[in-house]
Structures are given as C-alpha cells and as structure tokens.
Amino acid sequence: MPAPLPVILDGDPGLDDAIAWLLALASPEELDVLAITTVHGNVGLDLTTRNAGVTLALAGADVPVYAGAERPLLCAPLTAARVHGETGLPAADLPEPRRGPEAEHAVNFLVRAVRERPGEVTLVATGPLTNLALAFRLAPDLPGKVREVVWMGGSTGGGNRTPAAEFNALADPHAAHIVLTSGVPVRMYGLNVTMQAVATPERVGRLRGLGNRAGRVSADLLTFYAGVYRERYGLSGGALHDPLAVAAAIRPELCRTQPMNVQVEMQEGLNFGRTVCDVYGVTEQPANVEVAVEVDDEALFALLLERVGRLG
C-alpha cells in the first residue's frame, strides 16, 4: 500500500468544511493531515479557528491549527451566516476544542511546511484562497514546491453568491487569481459538480443512523443546511461541496476532470469573482487548471458514510 499523502487542510468552517475535515481525519490510510490552516469566509476568522478545534475534538485527532488571514487581499469581507449559521457549526452536542491555535501565522507555517518537504505536500483548500496567495507572494518559490492544490471553488457555469460567482471565489477573487496563475498544479471542484452531490433526507438519515457522535453532528449540520437549498435551489438537501474536494484528494477517480484555461474576473461589476473556464478551448490559451466536470455522487456518499462511521 502506498504511503498516505501529506496534506494541509485550509478552510473556513462552516459546516461543510467541518464534514469534509472529518472525512480527511478518518482516512489515515490515504491522507496524512499535517495541519489545519484557517481563513476568513463562511464566518469570521475567530470562529473558523475555533470551529477547526471543535472538528478535531469531534474526530479525536491531535493536529495543530494555524490561524491565517482575517480578510481578503483587497475587497470587502463576505460571510455566509445565513447558510452556515451565526457560529458556522449549527449542531447540538459539539465538543470543546482540546487546544488552541499555534502562535505561528498560517501563512508562515505554509511556507515553512512546504519548503521542508518540497514536491510532497498537497494543499486541500475549501475556502477563499487568501492564505495560499499570501504564501505564494511571500515565497515566490513555493508554487514550484507544492505537489498540488485541490480547491473547492468556482464553477464552469453560474454562481451561488451572485449569478456569476461561487462564494469561495467571490470572497477573494484576487487571491484566486494569484493561485490559479501561479503555475502550481490545481484541481478545481466547482459548483458544476458539487451541486450534483446532494445530502438528501435519506442520506442524512443514514449518517444519523451510524449511532456515533460524528454521525449525529454531521446529520444536524446537513439538516440546518437543507432549508436554504430547498428554498433557493429547489434541491432536496444541501450540496456536499467541501466533502467532494476532500474525497477527490482521497480518490481522484470519483470525478472526471478536464484541463482548461481558467481566469478569475477581478473587475468590479456583474461578473466580479467569476471563474471563466475555457471549456471548449476557444481562446487557445494553455490550460492551467484540471477542472472537475463529472462526479460519481453515490461513491462519494458511500465513502463519506463509511469514514464518518469510523469516528466516535
């Protein structure tokens, strides 16, 4: 069996980040989680950092947490409290964090960790890309030393925060531009695939039926989430956005990807934050991103169910 892939989880929990991180932490055969780095996004940085500690306690994992950027590079901060609740983790029976964040800033940690293991570390990002962009600007050699960035963000089509833009891209378009044009290998899992992976009531019931705390909390989170998705999108449950990105780090075959040239719209206006994906190669510009275009959502949920079932 190959050695587990060294990964750093970067995100803004948020309920689907937390479920994604439970999946990662329950998969030690495939993923060696070196650390968690937190960023602004679904809720403020103080809450995303606390929620990282809650998630680790729920998983029974001892992994260091590094707090990162509290705001985007240039634009005004966004949050998504309507979708994720005021705290980001709207669930009962949550444990308290077992330890606080490290003193070192997440960006400095990213530079140090990647340089210590050049070509080995995958960055699994499930939030705005501010931490990664700052690290790449601070250390211009870093994109050449990262094994891969796996990002939940963007879309080949429309958005969810605006008609054009997906939330993680819109929350810091300038950071997304820096990362996607840095030369680092990127796999992008956008709304065009994540909205096909729905936590239906039947699937939520199966998580609750696992009988463990992690399953109950995951079910509570996805139940809260479902109301917005029924009202706004006409879906039967919330989309498994961030769990899909982590699952694809574990099993890349869950999604078919296509190389594309992807640019991020940074001009203020209707398309601000849009990931412009050259699906048909009409620009004849070289591909810079592997973009997911199809997903096996049944296999995704089966993996999530089995791994959450391993936890306490």
Q: Is 105 a catalytic residue?
A: no
| 297-308 and 201-208 helices, crossing angle to 10° | 20
Q: What is the DSSP track for 288-305? A: -EEEEEEE-HHHHHHHHH
Alpha carbon distance 35, 17 (integer Å): 14
The answer to whether residues 142 and 153 touch, using CB atoms and an 8 Å cutoff, is: no
* DSSP SS3 for 200: coil
* DSSP SS3 for 153: coil
Cβ neighbours for 103, distance < 8 A, ≥ 6 positions apart: none
Quickly list H helices, the chain.
15-25, 45-59, 81-84, 106-116, 130-138, 167-170, 173-180, 191-194, 201-208, 213-233, 241-250, 297-308
Q: Which residue of the set 40, 84, 177, 241 is catalytic?
A: 241
Active-site annotation, residues: 241
